[in-house]
């Protein structure tokens, strides 16, 4: 356990890890069963529910699925990487193969590289050279993406375009792992879309454009201001004291510094670990605390929260 925790803090975390809940991981198993069961129930009953209600129910379910996949890649509910991959491979959210998400996200957890463009795979910043070489239109898009409304509207399309460019280049380079990953993901995605076409009242285009993309857009709100450039790595990660609907959708990842410091801690223990020693976490973050996503909307709904250009590298 990290050296910056005092004895009481360490003892509290260790006690949580020894509980029956931590040993069996039953909350995460219930989540898995709930998401799988919910997806099939909604899709199979979409004719009765109607297209509107099916859409409104599936969007948050896919956001929750992305959060569940995040738990799986961090070693929950089992310690077996391959088994967790099987549990999380279902392409409900369509666009990101589980393997790609897992590998890039684990690279993101090198805290000394957080926010650094070209090094942190989840960085939303540009190098000075990239920024200065951008056109006026590109700069406008990047600035818009630094507002909450912009992140919701164009964050997902921009991320998908960047993903396509990066992965197409890997395929052109004949990277074996990329070909295997995309062929496997493509096979299961086509299987899922065929199931939707055969057994639901939802057109495939509707699922792709009006369910999976909006779900990704909502997930983008979580990552809108999770990290900031700072000389001290531990002060680059936010503590967002969000309300319960967001905490549930994001499985408490709003307490993001706690997660980065303790990436093996399960989602259901994050709030307790944070609140029990809140003052220590706030001090460690350098006061990087946000009072929920509503505060971000009020302050930065239309105003960029910072510059797209990374201030140092």
Within-domain flag for 9: no
Within-domain flag for 8: no
Within-domain flag for 252: yes
Other beta carbons within 10 Å of 115: 23
Q: What is the pLDDT of residue 1?
A: 47
Please give the structure tokens belonging to residue 24: 């069996």
If you write DSSP's letter for every residue of 108-152 in order, what string do you get? HT-GGGTT-TTTSTT---B-HHHHHT--HHHHHHHHHTTSHHHHH
Q: Residue 293 is part of which domain span?
A: 25-300
Within-domain flag for 20: no
Of residues 277, 291, 278, 297, the one with CA closest to residue 242:
291
List, for residues 85-137, the tens digit of each pLDDT value: 999 999 999 999 999 999 999 999 999 999 999 999 999 999 999 999 999 99
Please state, in angstroms and rounded to a whole number, the distance separating the CA atoms of residues 134 and 126.
Answer: 10
Within-domain flag for 29: yes
Within-domain flag for 241: yes
Within-domain flag for 261: yes
* pTM recorded for the entire structure: 0.92
If you write DSSP's letter for every residue of 18-74 in order, what string do you get? HSHHHHH-HHHHHHHHHHHHHHHHHHHTHHHHHHHHHHHHHHHHHHHHHHHHHHHHT
Burial zone of 9 (CB within 10 Å; 0-12 exposed, 13-18 middle, 19+ buried): middle
Within-domain flag for 10: no
Of residues 166, 167, 137, 168, the one with CA closest to residue 154:
137
Domains in the chain: how many in total?
Answer: 1
Please state, in angstroms and rounded to a whole number, the distance separating the CA atoms of residues 185 and 177.
Answer: 12
pLDDT < 50: residue spans in the chain: 1
């Amino acid at each position: 356990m990290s050296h910056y925790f005092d004895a009481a803090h360490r003892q509290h975390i260790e006690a949580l890890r020894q509980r029956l809940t931590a040993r069996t991981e039953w909350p995460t198993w219930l989540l898995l069963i709930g998401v799988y069961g919910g997806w099939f129930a909604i899709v199979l009953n979409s004719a009765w529910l109607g297209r509107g209600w099916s859409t409104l129910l599936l969007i948050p379910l896919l956001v929750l699925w992305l959060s569940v996949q995040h738990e799986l890649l961090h070693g929950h509910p089992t310690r077996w990487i391959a088994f967790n991959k099987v549990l999380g491979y279902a392409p409900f959210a369509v666009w990101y193969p589980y393997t790609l998400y897992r590998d890039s996200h684990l690279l993101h957890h090198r805290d000394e590289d957080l926010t650094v463009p070209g090094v942190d795979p989840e960085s939303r910043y540009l190098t000075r050279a990239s920024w200065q070489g951008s056109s006026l239109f590109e700069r406008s898009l990047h600035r818009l993406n630094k507002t909450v409304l912009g992140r919701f509207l164009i964050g997902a399309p921009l991320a998908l375009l960047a993903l396509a460019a990066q992965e197409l280049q890997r395929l052109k380079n004949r990277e074996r792992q990329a070909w295997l990953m995309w062929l496997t993901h493509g096979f299961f995605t086509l299987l899922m879309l065929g199931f939707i076409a055969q057994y639901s009242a939802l057109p495939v285009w509707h699922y792709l454009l009006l369910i999976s993309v909006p779900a990704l857009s909502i997930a983008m709100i979580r990552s809108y201001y999770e990290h900031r450039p700072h000389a001290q790595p531990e002060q680059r990660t936010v503590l967002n004291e969000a309300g319960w609907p967001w905490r549930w959708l994001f499985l408490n990842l709003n307490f993001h510094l706690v997660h980065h410091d303790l990436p093996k801690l399960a989602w259901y223990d994050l709030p307790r670990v944070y609140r029990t020693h809140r003052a220590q976490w706030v001090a460690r973050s350098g006061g990087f605390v946000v009072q929920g996503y509503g505060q971000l909307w009020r302050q930065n709904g239309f105003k960029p929260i910072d510059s797209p250009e990374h201030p140092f590298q």
